[in-house]
Structure 1
């Protein structure tokens, strides 16, 4: 600046704010957490609801019921995703006028925790079975307590609001008492029964597993083709079965065939020297798979003798492959009937299915239908019973999950007996325990079940008389699913599921609080003791001392004394499936807590998509049995977390992303923003590059907020009436009202991606790149009392309140900073507010339509100026005064040239309705607008930098009329 050029920099109203551009979230967020705890924000919101109710304006309760994570380790990124989505639901509904409650909870019983204690025992060379069961349970309780405290702090660090001081724990004495009471409802309503059927069994954990506790991995299994010879008929031909579980052969009780399958009789003519087939023997096979059997058996030539109709199998009796075998002691000298089965297919195998009712669901159903004997050859550690001939004591899988000798021993015995036609190996998807990662087996054991098709006489049959009917009705009619595909998935699972296996052969859990009559059979009417007084005594004992009392000496005698003779009853010591615990939470959390809901029906259950077969499922079954319907109105599911390449995260691959590390580097708000920006209904990717992109979005948003914070100290606190505002301000108010409706609608629909995208687009495009860019001139250079400046500041105040509250559920730390920077105070917090009120009268569709056309024309002008800037003809748009050629209709929409030059940020502008000259600048997507560039005439105002003809003709040197007046008004 030349020495004789006036310096007006100190007279310009530049932004001033303490709100820094650099957020420093990792260092600063803990202080806000401490502040919220000191303020008691969550409790104050509950008091706010009570005050509203006392004043006759009650806030409707809104309850997101927390699906309990296991208290057995540090949080992973999936936990962070889940709890963050939940927090956005809770916070947004609170700010939309609800009394939005969130009670965090933990699943404290079950195998995940018991397994950790057993691991500690094994590391010390100790045997769990040698420890007193109550002492062992106490160790499990202590372990869970420790992880609850750790996880609670990790969840709080994410910025999750809730009743952290009083969460629910399934191991609390009251919770254990209620879980037992809920189980006893099954006992009393007739749905509980003891049955003997095959369940998925973990040889390592020595317990039955629910479907939700099983995962599938590749596994290499033995495959065998086995001859079953007829006692008579079929021309003496062998019926060939195929199985991947040779160890189940000793349990075979039938061979199933398909009534619609085409079978053939094949005569072996020639074989390979390594074949176990015999030239001249006859085999019966399904025609569609005959060639694959021929190859497997190394048969080089055969003749298809004739068709074999399925009707020929009716009444045919086969011999067990071990019938009459040396050393068999007659164990397998029984008839093996051929039976029709709907489950038999001819797309693999042989067209016949080896049937062992004790070791498969289809097999079991065949056993029930045809009254086949059940076998009990396999014990809890997956070894054959000691007295089983030939194979006694041999393991299928050992205690480490490795294959035992049972399969190979059976293959050798089949070969010795002349029954083995062929053998091989196959790699296929096989069930494994999700905890021990070891393979599981189907094993027949006495278990306790809830009959989901049994009629319930409880007066709660509005939606059906059975658990299945009520569950299906709930899914179809009572529950909203987000995404909608969840409905069909859960409906199909309920439609097809078998009875619910309630029992587990473990130590850490709520016991099945029931007694069975000595000497009675499970089918006898008096097998189970059903007595309300006994039930009440059990519940009272659990309420006082917890479920451990069930395992103390003399408990049975104390509970049954004076009601029945304790010696006449056996006490059941199995524990409940842990899914029954969490499925019962609607009773002891929603019903029994002051911050619950009396009808036990939550507004939202929200978990990962795997919980269709987990918590959503068990809660649905449990609620249908006890309250007659699903205990929820909305089910929201999210996907799993993957790395940046879309691969599943694994410690062995080294591609895990720990939430603690993300928070340490970026802060919790960046992690939360990653959640908000993603479509959580599908699997979500996360990694360094993705987080960098998230941080960039955050910086752009923070820049918009910082501009607001810098300008607003100049606001006098008085809003200019909308009708007095320039149209530009009226348009921004229209956008606020329009956006308010969208934000509320999308928050209500749990669509946080749409919420953030709409707000972000508004902040960066409508505000930063358009409105703020235009109004900088008025904010910096207009006199304080100018209408444009006052109107602009009024609008910015409305924008501030809208943005800070709309974004608070997503970015709670940053919005608290934005709020406190402007409104400091010991009791001040944005999280005590509702969404800022927006007036419906701000909506103006006609104005918005005009601005859409005006902004399109503006794009042509800025495009023309960018060409000149690139060519270095000008350095700033204020050096231009272009002529804009438009139609008369568009000219009427744009209005005056003076107003349009403000929008285009030029020093001057002409509007012409004449035909544009050849070569005028235009854009293909904006018809009817052409621009001819011209430089602005005059001198540069040294205060506002506009180039105008009148600069230098006023009292203040080198100023334009507007700046001269502003300086005079300021007394300069």
Structure 2
């Protein structure tokens, strides 16, 4: 005991927060250490074992495979972070939430890069043996799987990283082949020569999901097709002059009004600077609604309509180049087609069945044979040698610095048309056209023999693939809900699925075709076809895709009594979207990580562009082989844009790389940014936006740090039951019960923005601005008793208050650590290991969301405290003014008198000390309907008037509260009676 009480330093008797948890996270340096710790713990394996021990129900998010090609970027980082939050939150919700990462290892993205590597060495792909080329592709993919795997792991993503699924593993390739053959056996595999999108640069067919649309300038021409036996011409309009040599018909619409027009005068060469192609006296047949625009384009000054024309009665037309060479001297029929409109053009459509889907359809539907379609463009996008004048000319340049730019075909065709006298006009226009998203070069439409999965051929259950897929979409839940309509509209209108590609690096289309063009899956008896299929799958399981290309056909066919001379082996490879569409088979089913009741994954989650990609290919493949969707739910995210909403682009210079954020701030900040925004829409990012996430992190870390310090030395022995707690603590428990339901519900529907909003608001307002602020005095200054029986009831009130506060803080801390762990795995792990919870498990991620008793929820209590906080807000506002005006330094220097008109607000304080709640040294509540004027009010809280009177008495040297010295304990006259009790308790436990 000290000799002079008035000189005593009371600081040692305060219970100030104490924790080793630092104020700064040091994330860039510490995050790799946490990942190493989890790896050393074998955390993922521990999670699986723990779930198995609990008998937890499986919950599977199937990872859409990224291409093994190039470093990850902010978009792929966001994608993996969202998945990680989903998996972690479901694991902590009590499920067995496995996460198996995977990669798409075949296809053009990789093949294109390997081609570039060979080109840099002076070799084209044709110079390299196919086996060597495929080996280079496999090595390239292996390299990037390793690199990307480390980059994804650095994001804090927990999963089965030591055994991911790869589409290029032999067993995966065998499974893909098995899925293909299974589908082929249903009869849905068909072969045809429909026009498809073809990339001359990459020399392969492309699917819709492999193209992107860009504006480009193209020539536009108006061309005359002479009517046989007449002096009139039908006029067409096209933006693809190169297709004119392939023309086989002209289409019209019987619903359109047509007329015969005569050119009277044309603009002079002096006016134009060039001589127009149109000549006075020419007779042109046009759609009436478009006659004026055609004449304007042809620089016709005046013209007259002569008569109505019925295109069906015109007979045949001549090709505009028919006089140039007999090659073009074939009849050109007029075909009726609904695709013809009078919105633009001439009312007639130039029809080249080899180069347009509508052209092909109207040709076949009018009774012509697909086999009669003119194929005059080769795989390089050049005219075949037999085409007069144009043979060998390219449509698009396929190599060199001008790769992707227009070739010689368009200018030469236009020149020939001008020489023939059948060019009416020409110009330049801008169209939005398909480009390969890999080479960025334009694609052409070209009819080539390809393999398709029929969308409308009835399957074994009597329904078409389209019908099965649409039914599956109806049974799937979408987040956001608009995703259903998007996928539905795509499936409703899509053509047959083009699955063949003319490339090297891919899973082969393992089909033998007989001399009549039938695949073995249709031509052979089922038993024999099954045996052949089994032999093919076994070979690929042993040797990978090379086994198909290298094994002689006789080795497959001979054991079944089939002659290799009667069958041709297909060497096309599968569309890479078919590969990824089958991942449910080998990544989930064959590994046993699937819902055993439905045979589905719970969730597929990717970017919104995958409605036409992976979501759709997976849906179609699974519906074709199993009659159902492979998923129960589909979740889509948007893309990342800069602060102005512009797409990220290296050429613009507005990109931000994940590594850049990690080095400067830490991945935890990127995770907070991801979770705090509406990732289902496009997410904006910039330095300022990231700094906002840094501030969020700082506030949450400080909230957790404060509780760790306040709970120094906490054990469950100190806990008291809710019914013994003061009202403020019971209100916090009520808030926890509310949040428990809200947070879990938000996690369940992947609404992380709501999770973060709820918890940030709770931490910043309910805790920091209210609860911690009010209970700081109690935590620091209330007595801490070793034996409660040693004190009377009045004294015990203080001890119970402090114990209640720490009991509640322990409950809050446990919930915040687990609720935030999916979003902030590094910091919550660090805090967990510094907390009283560390004895429960070796990692916070091995915990579940804690059970929160329903009876903590008390709506009546919450209403009462809402009234108290209404009054408190006005008092706080008044004290802020007093501090600003320097009439007080701290709120403890005040003893406000509060006039309250509403008696219910006054009664809300029954049993509570308003001074404690206002953090003042005294407070008086006065129920009065009339204020005396001059007090502080808030416009939105009428009937509450605050008079911030100065506190009287002396300042306690321990708690800084002002008190009446006449009430002091004689032994400790310079501190409040409450503080005196605390000091006595402290002395009793610290005496020698």
Structure 2 length as normaliser, TM-score?
A: 0.94
* Alignment match of 2:863 (pick from 839, 849, 856): 849
For 1:732 and 1:533, how far apart are their aligned partners in 2?
Answer: 69
Residue 290 to residue 6, structure 1, CA distance change in 2 (3 Å): farther
Aligned partner of 1:342 in structure 2 is 338
* Alignment match of 1:270 (pick from 265, 274, 292): 265
Counterparts in 2 of 1:719-734, with a 5 A limit?
Answer: 719-734=719-734
Secondary structure at the aligned position of 1:416 is classed as: helix
Residue 723 to residue 523, structure 1, CA distance change in 2 (3 Å): closer
Aligned partner of 2:776 in structure 1 is 776
For 1:128 and 1:799, how far apart are their aligned partners in 2?
Answer: 63
Secondary structure at the aligned position of 2:421 is classed as: coil
Aligned partner of 1:467 in structure 2 is 465
Aligned partner of 2:577 in structure 1 is 579
Gaps of 5+ in 1: 53-57
Shift in Å, 1:957: 3.4
For the 8 Å contact 1:898–1:909, the answer to whether it is kept is no
Q: Greater shift after overlay, 800-809 or 929-938?
A: 929-938
For the 8 Å contact 2:156–2:825, the answer to whether it is kept is yes
Residue 963 to residue 365, structure 1, CA distance change in 2 (3 Å): same
Residue 8 to residue 559, structure 1, CA distance change in 2 (3 Å): farther
Aligned partner of 1:546 in structure 2 is 544
Residue 590 to residue 600, structure 1, CA distance change in 2 (3 Å): farther
Shift in Å, 1:608: 0.4
Q: Greater shift after overlay, 399-408 or 59-68?
A: 399-408
For 2:260 and 2:313, how far apart are their aligned partners in 1?
Answer: 16
Secondary structure at the aligned position of 1:744 is classed as: helix
Residue 376 to residue 951, structure 1, CA distance change in 2 (3 Å): farther
Shift in Å, 1:3: 12
For 1:544 and 1:859, how far apart are their aligned partners in 2?
Answer: 74
For the 8 Å contact 2:871–2:905, the answer to whether it is kept is no
For 1:524 and 1:581, how far apart are their aligned partners in 2?
Answer: 20
Aligned partner of 1:281 in structure 2 is 282
For 1:609 and 1:489, how far apart are their aligned partners in 2?
Answer: 9
Aligned partner of 1:418 in structure 2 is 421
Residue 417 to residue 243, structure 1, CA distance change in 2 (3 Å): same
For 2:861 and 2:590, how far apart are their aligned partners in 1?
Answer: 54
For 1:798 and 1:708, how far apart are their aligned partners in 2?
Answer: 10
Aligned partner of 2:378 in structure 1 is 379
Shift in Å, 1:289: 2.4
For 1:900 and 1:860, how far apart are their aligned partners in 2?
Answer: 13
Secondary structure at the aligned position of 1:970 is classed as: helix
Residue 567 to residue 896, structure 1, CA distance change in 2 (3 Å): same
For 2:877 and 2:289, how far apart are their aligned partners in 1?
Answer: 70
Q: Greater shift after overlay, 945-954 or 118-127?
A: 945-954
Q: What is the CA deviation profile of residues 739-790 of structure 1, one whole-angstrom value per residue up to 9, with x for unaligned ones?
A: 0000010000000000111011001110011100000000000001411100
For 1:173 and 1:214, how far apart are their aligned partners in 2?
Answer: 29
Counterparts in 2 of 1:743-758, with a 5 A limit?
Answer: 743-758=743-758
For 2:305 and 2:709, how far apart are their aligned partners in 1?
Answer: 91
Structure 1 length as normaliser, TM-score?
A: 0.96
Q: Greater shift after overlay, 392-401 or 241-250?
A: 392-401
Residue 26 to residue 556, structure 1, CA distance change in 2 (3 Å): farther
Aligned partner of 1:188 in structure 2 is 185
Counterparts in 2 of 1:753-768, with a 5 A limit?
Answer: 753-768=753-768
Residue 523 to residue 587, structure 1, CA distance change in 2 (3 Å): closer
Shift in Å, 1:898: 5.3
For the 8 Å contact 1:737–1:843, the answer to whether it is kept is yes
For 1:587 and 1:495, how far apart are their aligned partners in 2?
Answer: 25
Residue 523 to residue 710, structure 1, CA distance change in 2 (3 Å): closer
Aligned partner of 1:807 in structure 2 is 820
For 2:234 and 2:691, how far apart are their aligned partners in 1?
Answer: 65
Residue 528 to residue 246, structure 1, CA distance change in 2 (3 Å): farther
Aligned partner of 1:918 in structure 2 is 933
For the 8 Å contact 1:941–1:951, the answer to whether it is kept is no
Aligned partner of 2:796 in structure 1 is none
For 2:504 and 2:689, how far apart are their aligned partners in 1?
Answer: 44
Shift in Å, 1:897: 8.2
Shift in Å, 1:313: 2.9
Shift in Å, 1:232: 4.0
For the 8 Å contact 2:553–2:564, the answer to whether it is kept is no
Aligned partner of 2:678 in structure 1 is 679
For 1:394 and 1:504, how far apart are their aligned partners in 2?
Answer: 24
Shift in Å, 1:826: 12
For the 8 Å contact 2:311–2:334, the answer to whether it is kept is no
For the 8 Å contact 1:103–1:163, the answer to whether it is kept is yes
Aligned partner of 1:821 in structure 2 is 834
Counterparts in 2 of 1:634-673, with a 5 A limit?
Answer: 634-673=633-672
For 1:622 and 1:853, how far apart are their aligned partners in 2?
Answer: 60
Shift in Å, 1:264: 2.9
Shift in Å, 1:656: 1.1
Secondary structure at the aligned position of 2:965 is classed as: coil
Shift in Å, 1:349: 1.1
Q: Greater shift after overlay, 112-121 or 897-906?
A: 897-906
Residue 618 to residue 711, structure 1, CA distance change in 2 (3 Å): same
Aligned partner of 2:894 in structure 1 is 880
For 1:451 and 1:891, how far apart are their aligned partners in 2?
Answer: 72
Q: What is the CA deviation profile of residues 561-600 of structure 1, one whole-angstrom value per residue up to 9, with x for unaligned ones?
A: 3331111100000000000000001111111003344554
For the 8 Å contact 1:133–1:551, the answer to whether it is kept is no
Counterparts in 2 of 1:340-379, with a 5 A limit?
Answer: 340-372=336-368, 373-379=372-378
Q: Greater shift after overlay, 515-524 or 199-208?
A: 515-524
For 1:951 and 1:443, how far apart are their aligned partners in 2?
Answer: 102
1:941 is the counterpart of 2:956: yes
For the 8 Å contact 2:514–2:520, the answer to whether it is kept is no
* Alignment match of 2:915 (pick from 892, 898, 901): 901
Aligned partner of 1:55 in structure 2 is none
Shift in Å, 1:318: 1.2
Residue 521 to residue 946, structure 1, CA distance change in 2 (3 Å): closer
Residue 446 to residue 520, structure 1, CA distance change in 2 (3 Å): closer
Counterparts in 2 of 1:228-627, with a 5 A limit?
Answer: 228-232=225-229, 236-272=231-267, 273=269, 274-308=275-309, 311-314=310-313, 316-323=315-322, 325-326=323-324, 328=325, 330-372=326-368, 373-399=372-398, 400-457=403-460, 461=461, 465-476=463-474, 478-518=475-515, 520=517, 526=523, 531-598=529-596, 599-627=598-626
Shift in Å, 1:15: 0.4
1:131 is the counterpart of 2:147: no
Gaps of 5+ in 2: 270-274, 786-798
For the 8 Å contact 1:512–1:574, the answer to whether it is kept is yes
For 2:311 and 2:556, how far apart are their aligned partners in 1?
Answer: 63
For 1:937 and 1:548, how far apart are their aligned partners in 2?
Answer: 93
Shift in Å, 1:231: 1.4
For the 8 Å contact 1:6–1:958, the answer to whether it is kept is no
How many residues are paired up?
A: 953
For the 8 Å contact 2:252–2:311, the answer to whether it is kept is no
Shift in Å, 1:367: 1.7
For the 8 Å contact 1:257–1:339, the answer to whether it is kept is yes
Q: Greater shift after overlay, 119-128 or 286-295?
A: 286-295
Secondary structure at the aligned position of 2:913 is classed as: helix
